[in-house]
Structures are given as C-alpha cells and as structure tokens.
Amino acid sequence: AALLLESHEIKHLRPLFNTQQKNSRMNFGLFTRTSPEGYTQLYINRVEEESQPLAAFTNTTQGKQYLEGLVEKYNLCQKHSDLYKTDSSCFRYQTHRCLGACLGKEAVETYNNRVNKALDKLSLGSRSLAILDRGRNADERTLVWIERGKYLGFGYVPVDEPIQSPQELRGYIQPFPDNQDIQRIINHYLRTGTPERVW
C-alpha cells in the first residue's frame, strides 16, 4: 500500500527530483524479444521511463533467479532466456531438459506456446481480486481491490469486521487511478509477498 500511494503521489504532485519514480525499488524488469528464427526470448534489463516490463525486480540477481524458475517450471531454453551465452546448445539441452530450441530442433510454435503460458501468469489479465494484508496497526488490515484486471484503489478494514464475501469490502476502498507502474507493484507483490488472504 505504501508503494501504491507513493506511485500515485509522484504522478499527482510531480516532484522535481522524483519524476521517474527514482525511489522505486523495482529498477529491473522482465522483457521479451523475438529471435531471427521466431522464438520468443525472455531477458532481464533495466526499466527505463517508457519501457513496460512484464515483471519488475529490485536487481538483476532477483530477476534472473525468477527467470530461472520460469525456465525450470515451463521447460524453457536457457539460451532463449538470456541465461546461457552460447552459439550452440544450452546446458539444459546437454542434460536432456531442453527440447532443442537452442539448436532450432523444437518447433517455434510449440516453444512459444510454453513461453506464453509462463507469461500469462505474470499479468493480472481480466482477474478480479481482493487482497487483504497487514494494516498500519494491529487494529486494521490493508485492502487492495482489482476488478477485471484494473486496479480501483485500496483502503483499510477493521480487524474485527466480519467478512463473508469480498463484495462486503468494496465500501472501504478509496479510489485511485490505474497505470503500468501500479500494475507492476501489484504483480511483484503477488509473486513475492505473503498476503493474509486473496479472493
């Protein structure tokens, strides 16, 4: 919630020395490009003002660790994930864990389908979520509201408030505008945080 509010205030107040969210802790992002052969490639790079990363990280080490996890989970190629510099096969192919995209042996469409499945998990898409977590003090919980993939705002819910369904919480939300930075903050939190509850 602090990062969401900071991002909003920076855009609203336009401070002289923080117009590009220089205090943001997520300075590196996950990006895609297409190889000459048509394979979708993943890579980590610094987040620039106009860039729109699929996920954001505090440093390159964290980004590459996350990328390594995607490679392992979705059986991707290290060479096409910028994790293994080579002109031939990647290490995973040598250990029979890559299907040969690094050598052009795997069909482009088949490989790219797996990449797309991995990337689908990085976007809020059209999901509707109510996220509850610790509040500013022991008497409240923070609530972040996403509706059909769009961030609508956040607020605070009393700890002793009985909750039967997320719709009962809607009245606690203070509306805020959505933007790419907000989406990155929420996606980062959903990947790395431990929310008390997500509907």
**Range in 17-26, 56-65, 110-119, 150-159 with the lowest mean pLDDT:** 17-26
d(C-alpha 10, C-alpha 99), whole Å: 46
What pLDDT, on a 0 to 100 scale, did the predictor assign at position 23? 45
- Say if residue 134's pLDDT is above 80: yes
Lowest mean pLDDT among 18-22, 51-55, 164-168, 188-192: 18-22
Residue predicted with more confidence, 94 or 120: 94
Mean pLDDT of 114-119: 91
Contact predicate 188/182, CB 8 Å: no
67-90 in b/e form (b: 16+ CB < 10 A) is beebbeebbbbbbbbbbbeeeebb
The pLDDT confidence band at residue 22, using thresholds 50, 70 and 90, is: very low
Q: How far is CA 41 from CA 29, 79, 97, 115, 168, in A?
A: 14, 8, 17, 8, 43
Give 145-189 pLDDT, tens digit per residue.
998 888 999 999 999 988 888 888 999 999 998 877 888 889 888
Task: Compute the residue count for the chain.
Answer: 199
- Of 88, 84, 118, whose CA–CA distance to 105 is shortest? 88
- The predicted model gives 45-65 an average pLDDT of 83
Angle value at C-alpha 163, between 158 and 168, nearest 5 degrees: 90
Task: Name the band, by pLDDT with cuts 50, 70 and 90, for residue 25.
Answer: low
The residues facing 140 across adjacent strands are 158
Q: Residues of the chain with pLDDT > 90: what percent?
A: 54
Is pLDDT above 60 for 117? yes
Closest C-alpha to 187, from 130, 144, 123: 123
The predicted pLDDT at position 20 comes to 54
